A and B are shown apart, each in its own frame.
Chain A
Amino acid sequence: DAKTTQPTSMDCAEGRAANLPCNHSTISGNEYVYWYRQIHSQGPQYIIHGLKNNETNEMASLIITEDRKSSTLILPHATLRDTAVYYCIVRVAGGETSYDKVIFGPGTSLSVIP
């Protein structure tokens, strides 16, 4: 799986949009970008994933650059409950069990400030 790099930490004012960047310059054509987050003392939680088109769900939006070498997770209206560590992961999504190995990096610690 391709390696990702993320900023160690970020701050965001409550109510504003939080934009979390991720660099994955060595991503392969068949690798998806996944985002998870981990709120303190809880297990990681899936947020969103995408291949090359932008994606949106009830939690967030995912913007992937045209060359797919980077992406941005957007929390449109950050709340205090969004304070967490956010992990960006790239992996192949297919039927082969050998592709199930997901590697979590250190992630970005997002602090939402009142």
Chain B
Amino acid sequence: DGGITQSPKYLFRKEGQNVTLSCEQNLNHDAMYWYRQDPGQGLRLIYYSQIVNDFQKGDIAEGYSVSREKKESFPLTVTSAQKNPTAFYLCATGGGTEAFFGQGTRLTVV
């Protein structure tokens, strides 16, 4: 099956713990993105990567970290420094000027 796979769909963590969200793609797209979605705030860009071993901060990178060791994979770590981590996280890929999304991971920190 071609596409973008985010896992898990739902994730619960205790406050103060780091957590890593997975994003894998088999579309052979160079660009990958992480967005955060909160009610009434649209999609905000956390990090993006145009090529393996390179990534750039988006608009709200504080408290997050990423890696891009393989073209297919772009995991996002939500660290304990992120003050309000409960949100819906969306991974996307891009082969040109368009972005294609995974199904999302809903992270709840209790």
Q: Are A and B bound to each other? A: no
Q: Which residues on A are within 8 Å of B, measured CB to CB?
A: none
